[in-house]
Amino acid sequence: MPAQDPVIRCRNVWKLFGHSPKNYLETAKGGRSFDEIRQDGYIAAVRDVSVDVGKGEMLVIMGLSGSGKSTLVRCMSRLVDITGGEIAVDGTDIMKLDERELIQLRRRKMGMVFQSFGLLPHRTVLENVAFPLEMRGQDRHDRRERALEVIKLVGLEGREEYYPRELSGGQQQRVGIARSLAIEPDIWFLDEPFSALDPLIRREMQDEFLRLRGMLGKTIVFITHDFDEALRLADRIAIMKDGAIEQCDTPDKIVLKPATPYVAKFTEDVEKSRVVHAGGLVVPVNGYALEGAPVDAGATILQLARQLVNDTREVLPVQGKDGAIMGAMKRQDALDILLGPV
C-alpha cells in the first residue's frame, strides 16, 4: 500500500475531449456514465480517478485498448492537461506549475519509456543514452561517465559504439531504459515498454527490469495490457475500464477477490496457486497456537505445495521480510487454492 505521503497523488482526475470540456464538467450532473458522457458529445478518457503511488512502489495500470491507462499516465506527468481534479507530485500541484517549472520537474524527477524506442538512428548507443544529459547541459565528461554506468547496468557493456540498426529489438529497448535511467529519476513512467518484443525477449526484459527495480528502488508507474505481466511485476494493479479504475489492489487480492465482473474476467484463467502468496492469506493470530517453522510471506502457494500437503498443522505462522511473524495462514485456505475447494 502507498505511504501516508505518496509520491504521486491523484484526486478526482478527469480528462475529457470535446468542445469546452471544463464547462461541461462543471455543469454536467454527477455520476454520468461513460456512454452518457459520449452521448453528450464528449470522450471521458479519464473519469474521476483517485489513486496514490507510494515511494518505491510499482503501480501497474492495465486495461484493454481505449481504457484510459496511457492517458492517465500522461496526466500524471502533465504531458496532457487534466480537465478537472488534482495531481500532486511530492506535494506540489503540477497543474499550477508554469512551463519552466514543469520542464525542471520532468528533468529532475521523471524518466519515461514508451513502446516506441525513439532512438536517434545516427547516434551510437553511448550518444543516445547521454542525449538527455546533453539537453540538461551537463559537462561532456560527466555525461559520458554516467552513460557508461547505466549502459553497464542494463547489460549492454561492449556495445557503446553500436548504432540502433545494429541492435536487436530487446537491445534497443535496453538502450531506451538506459537513456531514461541516465537522468536518475525518482519517478519512472513506462508505457507498454515490452509489448513490441517477441515472447522470449519480453520475458528476458521483465527479468532484467525486476533486477533493476530491486537495485534502484524507483517509484514506478508501468502500463500494460498483459495481465500475466502485471501479476509478475506489480506491487499493486489498477485495472481500468472506460476511463475509470475498476479496482486497485495487490495481485493476491485482485485474483482472490475481484471487485467487479469486469475484473473477474481478467482473473478467471489465472492459476491462482502461482500468483497468491502466503502473505496474501494472512489472518490475525486470534488465539491460534502457532507452532513449528514459519513459512515465508513471499512464497507462492505453488512453491509451498509439498509442505502444505504433508503438514498436519491447522494454521501455519507466516514470516515477513524482517523475520517477524506477521500472522497466521490457515492450511485449508491454502489447500483450496492449490487443489480447489472440497
The enclosing domain of 71 has a CATH number of 3.40.50.300
Q: Which of 102, 322, 275, 89 is nearest to 188 (CA)?
A: 89
On whether residue 326 sits in a domain, the answer given is: yes
Overall average pLDDT of the 196-215 stretch = 80
Alpha helices in 183-260 (DSSP H): 199-216, 227-233, 251-256
Asked if residue 242 lies in contact with residue 222, where contact means CB atoms within 8 angstroms, the answer is: no
pLDDT of residue 342: 64
pLDDT at 233 (0 to 100): 92
* pLDDT number for residue 201: 75
Q: Mark whether 294 and 236 lie in a shared domain.
A: no
Do residues 2 and 76 both lie within one domain? yes
Mean pLDDT of 14-37: 91
**pLDDT tens string 279-330:** 999 999 877 778 899 999 999 999 999 999 999 899 999 999 888 999 999 9
Q: Is the per-residue pLDDT at 1 higher than 60? A: no
How many DSSP H helices and E strands does the chain contain? 14, 13
Compute the distance between CA of residue 319 and CA of residue 328 in angstroms, rounded to an integer. 9
Confidence of residue 36 (pLDDT cuts 50, 70, 90): very high
pLDDT at 116: 66
* Residues 192 and 308 placed together within one structural domain of the fold: no
Give me the mean pLDDT over the 216-227 stretch: 90
**What CATH number has the domain bearing residue 295?**
3.10.580.10
Taking all residues of the chain, what is their mean pLDDT, rounded to a whole number?
A: 90
Over residues 143-161, the pLDDT tens digits come to 999 999 989 888 899 999 9
More confident residue, 194 or 125: 125
Give percent of the chain above pLDDT 90. 64
Q: In this model, does residue 72 exceed pLDDT 60?
A: yes
What are the tens digits of pLDDT across the range 245-290? 999 999 999 999 999 999 999 888 899 999 999 999 999 987 777 8
- The DSSP bridge partners found for residue 92 are 89
Q: What is the DSSP string of 236-297?
A: EEEEEETTEEEEEE-HHHHHHS-SSHHHHHHHTT--HHHH-BGGGG-B--TT----SPPEET
* Better-scored residue on pLDDT, 171 or 297: 297
| 181, 111 Cβ separation under 8 angstroms | yes
Q: Is residue 75 part of a domain?
A: yes
Same domain, 191 and 86: yes
Domain that holds residue 81: 1-90+186-199+220-269
Last residue of a domain, one of 251, 269, 287: 269
Residues 75 and 25 in one domain: yes
Q: Collect all residues with Cβ–Cβ distance below 8 Å to 124 and sequence separation of at least 6.
A: 160, 161, 162, 163
Q: Are residues 55 and 195 in the same domain?
A: yes
In a domain, 301, yes or no: yes
Strands (E) across 177-281 are located at 187-191, 219-224, 236-241, 244-249
- Rg over alpha carbons for the chain, rounded to the nearest Å, is 23
pLDDT > 60? residue 3: no
Same domain? 194 vs 328: no
Q: Is residue 299 in some structural domain?
A: yes
Note the pTM of the prediction, 2 decimals: 0.86
Amino acid at site 202 = R
Residue position matching grid coordinates 479504475 = 245
Phi, psi (degrees; rounded to nearest 5) at 27: -105, -20
Q: Is residue 100 part of a domain?
A: no
